[in-house]
Structure 1
Amino acid sequence: MIRPNALQAGDTVAITALASKIDYDQYVIPAREILESWGLNVVESKSLNESFHGFAGPDTRRCEDFQQFLDDPSVKAIFSARGGYGTTRFLDEINYEAFGKSPKWIVGFSDITAVLCDVYALGYESIHGPMPKTFAWDEFSLQSLRKVLFGESVRYQSPPQAFNRLGQVQAPLIGGNLCLLSHLMGTRSEINTEGCILFMEDTDEYHYALDRYLVHLHRAGKLGNLAGLLVGSFSDLKDQPEDFGSSIYEIVRYWTDAYDFPIAFDFPVGHEAVNVALPLGRTAELTVTAQETTLAFS
Structure 2
Amino acid sequence: MAHIYVYSPSGAVRDKAAFRRGVKRLQALGHEVEVDPDALASWQRFAGDDATRLAAIGRAAASGADAALTTRGGYGLTRLLPALPYKAIARASGKGTKFIGFSDFTVLQLALLAQGGGVTWAGPALCEGFGARSADDAAEGHGGAAGATSPDEIMLACFQDLLDGSSEGTGWRLPAADAAALAGRRDLHLAHHAPLWGGNLAMLASMLGTLWWPAVEGGVLFLEDVGEHPYRIERMLAQLLHAGVLARQKAILLGQFTEYRLTPHDRGYSMAKVVDWLRSQLKVPVLTGLPFGHVPTKVLLPVGARIDLLVEGREALVLWGHLH
TM-score by length of 2: 0.81
Residue aligned with 2:177, SS: coil
Whether contact under 8 Å (2:195, 2:305) holds in the other structure is yes
Equivalent position to 1:158, from 164, 172, 176: 172
TM-aligned CA deviation for residue 184 of structure 1: 1.0
Equivalent position to 1:92, from 82, 88, 96: 82
Distance 1:241 1:89, change over 3 A: farther
Letter in 2 for 1:257: S
Match of 2:189 in 1: 168
Residue aligned with 1:48, SS: coil
Letter in 2 for 1:69: A
Q: Which runs of 5+ in 2 are unaligned?
A: 133-150, 183-187
TM-aligned CA deviation for residue 76 of structure 1: 3.6
Equivalent position to 1:117, from 110, 134, 156: 110
Q: Distance in 2 between matches of 1:81 and 1:36?
A: 15
TM-aligned CA deviation for residue 37 of structure 1: 4.3
Larger Rg: 2
TM-aligned CA deviation for residue 255 of structure 1: 2.9
Whether contact under 8 Å (2:6, 2:33) holds in the other structure is yes
Match of 1:59 in 2: 50
Residue aligned with 2:26, SS: helix
Equivalent position to 1:30, from 12, 15, 21: 21
1:131 partnered with 2:152: no
Letter in 2 for 1:141: M
Q: Distance in 1 between matches of 2:307 and 2:45?
A: 37
What's the CA shift string for 1:149-172, capped at 9, x where partnerless? 332134433223133143432222
Equivalent position to 1:107, from 87, 92, 100: 100
Whether contact under 8 Å (1:172, 1:197) holds in the other structure is yes
Match of 1:267 in 2: 290
Q: Which runs of 5+ in 1 are unaligned?
A: 1-8
Whether contact under 8 Å (1:214, 1:252) holds in the other structure is no
Q: Distance in 2 between matches of 1:277 and 1:185?
A: 24
Equivalent position to 2:162, from 148, 155, 165: 148
TM-aligned CA deviation for residue 240 of structure 1: 4.6
TM-aligned CA deviation for residue 74 of structure 1: 2.4
TM-aligned CA deviation for residue 62 of structure 1: 1.3
Distance 1:173 1:20, change over 3 A: same
Residue aligned with 1:145, SS: helix
Whether contact under 8 Å (1:230, 1:265) holds in the other structure is yes
Q: Distance in 1 between matches of 2:311 and 2:108?
A: 29
Alignment length (residue pairs): 288
Question: Which has the larger displacement, 79-88 or 165-174?
Answer: 165-174
Whether contact under 8 Å (1:163, 1:249) holds in the other structure is no
Q: Distance in 2 between matches of 1:173 and 1:253?
A: 23
Equivalent position to 1:235, from 244, 258, 269: 258
* Structural mapping, 1:165-244, within 5 Å: 165-166=181-182, 167-169=188-190, 170=192, 171-240=194-263, 243=266
Residue aligned with 1:173, SS: strand
1:45 partnered with 2:43: no
Whether contact under 8 Å (1:168, 1:288) holds in the other structure is yes
Residue aligned with 2:209, SS: coil
Q: Distance in 2 between matches of 1:297 and 1:94?
A: 27
Identity %: 28
1:68 partnered with 2:62: no
TM-aligned CA deviation for residue 288 of structure 1: 3.0
Distance 1:51 1:101, change over 3 A: closer
Question: Which has the larger displacement, 192-201 or 155-164?
Answer: 155-164
What's the CA shift string for 1:201-246, capped at 9, x where partnerless? 0010122211110111012111001111111110011435962763
TM-score by length of 1: 0.87
Bigger proportion of residues as helix: 2
Distance 1:240 1:106, change over 3 A: farther
TM-aligned CA deviation for residue 69 of structure 1: 2.1
Question: Which has the larger displacement, 275-284 or 106-115?
Answer: 275-284
